[in-house]
Structure formats: C-alpha cells, structure tokens
Amino acid sequence: MVFPRRRLLPAVVVAAALVGAGCGPAPGETITRVAGPNRSPSTTVPEDGAGQTRPPEATGTTSAPTSVPTSVPATTPPSAPDPGSGGGGTPLAGSGGTPPPPPGDPGPGTLRVTEVARGLDTVWAMAFDPEGRLWFTERGGRLTRLGEAARPVEGVVESGEGGLMGLEIDRQGRIFLMYTSATDNRVVRLEPDGTQTVLVEGIAKAGIHNGGRLRLGPDGALYAATGDAGMPQLAPDPASRNGKVLRLDPGGGPAQVFSRGHRNVQGLCTGSGGRLLATEHGPDRGDEVNILSAGFDGGWPASVGTGVRNYTPTIAPAGCAVYTGGLIPGWQGSLLFVTLKGQDLRRLTLGADGSVTGEEILFDGELGRLRDVAVAPDGSVYLATSNRDGRGSPAAADDRILRVAPG
Ligand SMILES: [Ca+2]
Ligand SMILES: [Ca+2]
C-alpha cells in the first residue's frame, strides 16, 4: 500500500493499516477534526493536467450513517489561507489581499468527522432528496441513494475528467444529472421509470474542462456549468454552449446562456439574496470564486484571476454550498467549498457587497482530494473525496463520504 506523502491523521493511518492487514475497521469510523497550519498540497499534478491514468476500480459499498464517539482532542487554530492574488502574468483583480480568519469558528474539539460511505470511486456530486436522504454520483456512471444499491446511469462514458458528474434534486423529488456521453456533455432529467429526458445536449466534451456542476436556483431554474473543453475561444462565444453557465427550465425548453467567459466552473451554489456563486479553475494561476449574475462575463481567456477571491498557487476548487443549517450557528451564511489540489474545506464569509471578509481552511491534507460539499437538512455538512480520480493517492477505504457535525 502506498501512503500519500501528506501527513495523515493517526486514526486514518491505523484504519488503513488494519485494512491492509485484512481486518478493516467498520464503516462509521470517526475522525476528529485536527486543524493545523496550512500545508503544501501533496498533489503535484495540476487538476488540469491531461494524460493521467486511473487506478483500478474499487468495489463500491455503502452503509447507513453511523456515529462512533471519539475522545481524541482537536485543535482549531486560525489557519492562514493560501497565498491569494499575484504571481501570474495577468493582473489578478479583486482579490483584496488575504482575508483574515472569519468569525464563527465553533472552537477546538467541537467538530467531528464520521464516515458514512466508503469503497467508492470518485464521488462527484451529492444532493439530498425531499425526504432528507443523500444521493450521490460516482464519475464512472453510478447513481446511489445512501444505503441502497447503486443504479447504473445509461449512456455515461467516463474518460479523462468526464463521466457522470452533476446531480441535483428538486422539491418534487425530480433528479437531474449532467454527464459525458459517447458524443457530448448533456443534462438530463431522470424519470421515475428510469428513462432520461434530455434538457440540453451537444455541449462539446473533452478529456479536460467538462464543467459538470448542476444547481437549482431560487428562481426555480436549473443552472448547469460547462467547461471550455480545452478550446478557450468557445468561452466568450455566445453561440457556443461551452465555457458557460447555462440556465435551463427543469420542465424542458431551450437552454439560455446565463454567464460566459468561464474556463471550467467546478462548483455552483446559491446564497442569501438569490446569489449564485461559482468556483472555477484557472490555468497555472488564478483559481476563482465568482458571484454570477445574468450576463456575467468571467473574462476567460482574455483574463485570469478575476473573481471576488483568487488563488495563486492554484488549489483546484470544486463543489460549494452556502451554509444555512442551524447545527453550526457560527457558519450561518458562510460559503463552503472544497478543493482537489488543495485537499481542504474552505469557509469564506462575504459582505453584503460580495467582498470576501474572512477565510478559514479546515481538514487541510487530512482527507485527500475533496470533490463536493453539501449541507444536510439537519445542518451537518457532508464531504465527498475524489482520491481515485487518477490524481490522488487513494487509501484502501477511498473514496469516501464523510459527515461533519459538532461532536
Ligand atoms: Ca474569470
Ligand atoms: Ca491545502
């Protein structure tokens, strides 16, 4: 077994060693949060890098959420964000320097991580249904309701960064998926009988930059992030569906271009006041957090690092969620997003004008690459790992879904 070069929590090391010895710990293992100074990411291959080979497929198993008490103390010092703006050839506007730690940290030892599923392969997206049950996608083409058997999604072709990606569920329980097919990237509504109704198709696919995130907006529209498919000239082109955030009618109808000039949006989430927020990968610099609006132009490829928060060196930000739960009161209204290369959970506070007023880094390097974050109806926070996406150092239990809650 090859361990990642990053430092592992003792509990994780023990767990991995037990698995290696053929007597793995039961799912439900609990890891207590140990925050620390921000460490350099162990991943040396940028998220954009092509030509990576994937590790062998793992046999997926899921289990119902369980919680095992722990007595391991945690510490929660304020953590320093990665260096923000600067360093590239293109001016990185709007960074506003390095934000201070935000208020609202629940304090040392108060957050606990509980494993709710393991043995998965590249968990890409998570969503809760109207009954409060967790659903998730794995990039290879499996859709799963936690605790039930995985459902293969017909038509998915996993290749490079593409495959089964976005997932969203509306209040009627309708399921929306975004995936790479044999010919394109597309968004479908999954009907109760298992058939698919195409909402938009013909989005160019590629080995890299397939976008893939879905989010229902407060206006009832379904927003879909598309990548530039490695063809930057498509991003500003109003006639192309690539390099955009598309606005779709969940019931069907023509797709509209909501925003353009995107390289590869990997996180979409809605905040207070109907804000639509996005995380986006820059090239070798200038990963971005953006606040989108109708007609927004992200500027790619003419400019890089144009967000309300920008990251150089890059951290490969992925799924995001605005915290609206009551379980961690200090996080109310915070923008949460996870990172692949950065291997952490970020919590940003934003002012009324959209400026970033604070930033905290959690679980830095402790769980590996993280692809999505979701807030459960009970206010706990779910994280999905992406250590088997071909760019990580998977442990035996990877990929996993973890629940974060006050312990
Ligand atoms: Ca931009
Ligand atoms: Ca990090």
CA of 310 to the centre of ligand 1 (A): 9
pLDDT number for residue 108: 59
Are 314 and 276 in contact, with CB atoms under 8 Å apart? no
CA of 81 to the centre of ligand 2 (A): 8
Q: Which of 345, 299, 350, 354 minimizes the C-alpha distance to 319?
A: 345
**Ligand nearest to the Cα of 316, by number:** 2
Domain ranges of the chain: 10-406
CA 54/CA 229 separation, integer angstroms? 20
Domain at 10-406, CATH homologous superfamily? TolB, C-terminal domain (2.120.10.30)
CA of 302 to the centre of ligand 1 (A): 9
State pTM to two decimals. 0.81
Are 125 and 167 in contact, with CB atoms under 8 Å apart? yes
CA of 399 to the centre of ligand 1 (A): 31
**Ligand nearest to the Cα of 314, by number:** 2
pLDDT number for residue 93: 40
Token pair in block for residue 81: 């964000």
pLDDT along the chain (407 residues), means of 10: 33 31 39 40 38 34 35 32 36 59 78 97 98 98 98 98 98 98 98 96 98 96 98 98 98 97 98 90 98 98 98 98 94 97 97 94 97 98 98 97 96
pLDDT number for residue 31: 52
CA of 299 to the centre of ligand 1 (A): 5
